[in-house]
Structure 1
Amino acid sequence: MELRPATPADAAALAELGARSFIVKFGHLYRTEDLENFLSESHTEAKAAKEIADPQMRVMLAETGGKLLGYCKLVMICGWPEHARGQAAIELKQLYTDPDATGQGIGARLMDWALEEAGRFGADEIQLSVYSDNPGAQKFYRRYGFEKAADIHFMVGEQRDEEFLFARMV
């Protein structure tokens, strides 16, 4: 498995993997129209291309043999400043793996990169949002020193999901 920064040519694959991963993990939770509206805003080729080009974002891909296995997005600004403990907090926006490749260490490699990149950037805190009923993801983030910092929410269409803000100092 290799890690490499995303390029504009990766936008379609990034959008497809993001949408497919979200549907597999969470699709059953939503009404069809809420899910479709959410995906049409959050996991499109145009949005992925915009994020890849954004100087305030870092998008790292994990792949093998040219096949995309996962990705991680860091936003180099604070997502929840009202909960920040650090002076230079950043957000881990998404850490997604291909549903067919879970358990292969992809998330660990991407998390290691995210922590290193945060340090190179000079961040002193990383924040992330995790679904309140996703104990597997919460356990993964706790292994890396993240702890619950606040109760927050996340909208999927018109449905409000209860989320936890997890954070760790760098």
Structure 2
Amino acid sequence: MNLRPANPADAAALAELGGRSFVAKFGHMYTPQDLEDFLADSHSEAKVAKEIADPAMRVLLAEEDGALLGFCKLVMACGWPEHARHERVVELKQLYTDPETTGRGIGAALMDRALEIGREHGAGEMQLSVWSGNEGAQKFYARYGFGKVADIHFMVGEQRDEEFLYARML
């Protein structure tokens, strides 16, 4: 498995994997219209291309033999400053793996590198949000030293999802 920064040519594949992963894990929770609108906004090729080009973000992908296995996005700024415990905080925006490759260590490799990138950036804390019902992800993040620091929410169309803000010091 190879980890590398995304480049503009990766936008379509990242958008496709992001949308497919989101639908596989959470698609059943939303009305068709809310899901369609959310995917068009959050997982479009144009949105991903803009994120890749944004100097305030780092988009990292995992691939093997030319196949995209997963990715993560880091925002090099604090997503929830009201809960920050350090003056410099980064946000792990997404950590997605192909639903067919779960359990192969892809998420762990991406998380390890994301933590390194945060430290290299000089951050003292990393924040992320996780759906309150996603116990598997919560356990994964806990293994990396993340803990719940606040209750927050996340909107998908008209639906409000209860989420947890997790954080760890770097």
* TM-score, normalised by the number of residues in structure 1: 1.00
1:105 aligns with 2:94: no
Matched with 2:144 is 144
Shift of residue 61 of structure 1? 0.5
Matched with 2:4 is 4
Q: What residue identity is the alignment partner of 2:141?
A: Y
Q: Spell out, residue by residue over 1:33-86, the C-alpha distance to the aligned partner (whole angstroms, 9 max, x if none).
A: 000010010000000000000000001100001100000100000000011111
Matched with 1:15 is 15
Shift of residue 30 of structure 1? 0.4
Matched with 1:56 is 56
Query: What's the Cα RMSD here?
Result: 0.3
Matched with 2:79 is 79
Shift of residue 128 of structure 1? 0.1
Matched with 1:168 is 168
Shift of residue 15 of structure 1? 0.3
* TM-score, normalised by the number of residues in structure 2: 1.00
Runs of 4+ in 1 over 2 A off after TM superposition: none
Equivalent-residue separation in structure 2 for 1:47 and 1:34 (angstroms): 18
Q: What residue identity is the alignment partner of 2:33?
A: E
Q: What residue identity is the alignment partner of 2:94?
A: Q
Pairs aligned (count): 170
5 Å-filtered alignment, 1:29-40, equals: 29-40=29-40
Q: Spell out, residue by residue over 1:7-28, the C-alpha distance to the aligned partner (whole angstroms, 9 max, x if none).
A: 0000000000000000000000
% same residue: 73
Any gaps of 5 or more consecutive residues in structure 1? Answer: none
Equivalent-residue separation in structure 2 for 1:158 and 1:83 (angstroms): 25
Equivalent-residue separation in structure 2 for 1:104 and 1:90 (angstroms): 26
Matched with 1:41 is 41
